[in-house]
Homo-oligomer: A and B are copies of this chain.
Amino acid sequence: MIKLAVDCMGGDYGPEKTVAGACLILAERTDLYCLFYGDQERIEQEIPHDADCSRIEIIMSDEEINNEDHPLKAIRKKQNSSMVKALKAVADGTADAFVSAGNSGAIFTGSLSIIGKLPEVKRPASVTILPTTSKVSPHYFLIDSGANISTKPEHLVQYGKLGSKLAEQMLGAENPRVGLLNIGEEDSKGNDFTKEAFQLLSDSKEFNFTGNVEPHTLMNGTHDIILTDGFTGNIMLKSVEGMAESILNELLENLIINADLNDDMSKTVEAFIHSSIRRYTNEDAGGGFILGAKAPVVITHGAASTTMFKNSIDLAITLKESDAFSSLNE
């Protein structure tokens, strides 16, 4: 049985999406047990009548950590929040993994102070699984996608090493191709940070570093792992997701309103565009996770839909089951 601690109060919608999403996957996987942390009444409202209640446990919490909260202060002071309680359940072994759509800074801080980090990791990072248009390499890891603003070049070497282990297992990549995010492909390109990182990554022989790579190239499935500092990674992440969401929704609207398609055609076109939206706004992949925490911690969008939250739970299960994640712990 896999036991997940779900912070049901996180995100813009709370239990309406988190509990609903979790119950979808509970119905599919009979080896899954969920601990729901949050407002009992609101959680109960979202559990379907036909759910298998023997695999659901509700743990009341009367505090919430919201997006305006300062991460460190919130984790210290809101000991009765759904987030802190759920993280503690993972720390004491009651649960195997943690999932939340809440304040990502607080999740990051909390998971390191409550669950703890792997001893060899200097500074944990967040990993987001991003889509490509390639059928052979449909996904890659973006590390760091926003956890650390002050990443140092030597941290990237560690991310390359740990990320390669995970990419082998999770993406099925053989000898994962690791690139450094940059504004040009030439070795000498970039700012002080990328120049120093390029040198350190080139010197390291522990993984397959392929050199600098520009953001637009990645969409072709050229890489399995892209390394960058948390600031640049977060800008890239929000740029690609924002672009995809905006232009696909605009296209959908234009085609439905103006293109004068018949009903059948309209439905077909809609289905194709919706499928692109799910893929390129990261709804399919479910979100990101922390590299360097002792146990799987999954962070999904505050605005995650029921489907996206379901997929984030799926990601937590994959991480728990993945040999790679346990091997990082050795």
Q: In this complex, what residue of B is CB-closest to A148?
A: B191
Asked if A243 and B246 make an inter-chain contact with CB atoms under 8 angstroms apart, the answer reads: no
In the assembled complex, which residues on chain B have CB atoms less than 8 Å from the CB atom of A150? 191-192
CB distance from A191 to the nearest CB of B (A): 5
CB distance from A143 to the nearest CB of B (A): 15
Q: Which A residues, 208 to 249, have Cβ-Cβ distances below 8 Å to chain B?
A: 214-220, 231-232, 234-236, 238-249
Asked if B190 and A219 make an inter-chain contact with CB atoms under 8 angstroms apart, the answer reads: no
In the assembled complex, which residues on chain B have CB atoms less than 8 Å from the CB atom of A234? 183
Which of A190, A216, A255 has the largest number of chain B CB atoms within 10 A?
A216
Question: When each residue 127-152 of chain A gets 1 if its CB lies under 8 Å from chain B and 0 otherwise, what string results?
Answer: 00000110000000000001001100
A191 to B258 CA separation, bound complex (whole angstroms): 44
- A321 at interface, CB cutoff 8 A: no
Question: When each residue 295-329 of chain A gets 1 if its CB lies under 8 Å from chain B and 0 otherwise, what string results?
Answer: 00000000000000000000000000000000000
- Whether A190 touches B251, Cβ cut-off 8 Å, given contacts A242-B217, A269-B259, is no
Asked if A243 and B239 make an inter-chain contact with CB atoms under 8 angstroms apart, the answer reads: yes
In the assembled complex, which residues on chain B have CB atoms less than 8 Å from the CB atom of A216? 238-239, 241-243, 245-246
Asked if B183 and A235 make an inter-chain contact with CB atoms under 8 angstroms apart, the answer reads: yes
- A273 at interface, CB cutoff 8 A: yes
In the assembled complex, which residues on chain B have CB atoms less than 8 Å from the CB atom of A149? 183, 190-191
Asked if A231 and B272 make an inter-chain contact with CB atoms under 8 angstroms apart, the answer reads: no
Could you say which interface size class chain A belongs to?
35 or more
Q: In this complex, what residue of B is CB-closest to A275?
A: B254
- A280 at interface, CB cutoff 8 A: yes
A269 to B260 CA separation, bound complex (whole angstroms): 10
Asked if A276 and B262 make an inter-chain contact with CB atoms under 8 angstroms apart, the answer reads: no
In the assembled complex, which residues on chain B have CB atoms less than 8 Å from the CB atom of A241? 216
- Whether A261 touches B265, Cβ cut-off 8 Å, given contacts A149-B190, A234-B183, A239-B236, is yes
Which of A183, A218, A260 has the largest number of chain B CB atoms within 10 A?
A183
In the assembled complex, which residues on chain B have CB atoms less than 8 Å from the CB atom of A106? none
In the assembled complex, which residues on chain B have CB atoms less than 8 Å from the CB atom of A54? none
Asked if A183 and B238 make an inter-chain contact with CB atoms under 8 angstroms apart, the answer reads: yes
A170 to B191 CA separation, bound complex (whole angstroms): 31
26 chain-A/chain-B pairs, Cβ below 8 angstroms: A133-B246, A181-B235, A183-B234, A183-B235, A183-B238, A191-B231, A214-B242, A215-B235, A215-B239, A215-B242, A216-B238, A216-B242, A216-B245, A218-B242, A219-B242, A235-B235, A235-B236, A239-B240, A240-B243, A244-B247, A247-B247, A248-B251, A261-B268, A261-B269, A265-B265, A269-B269
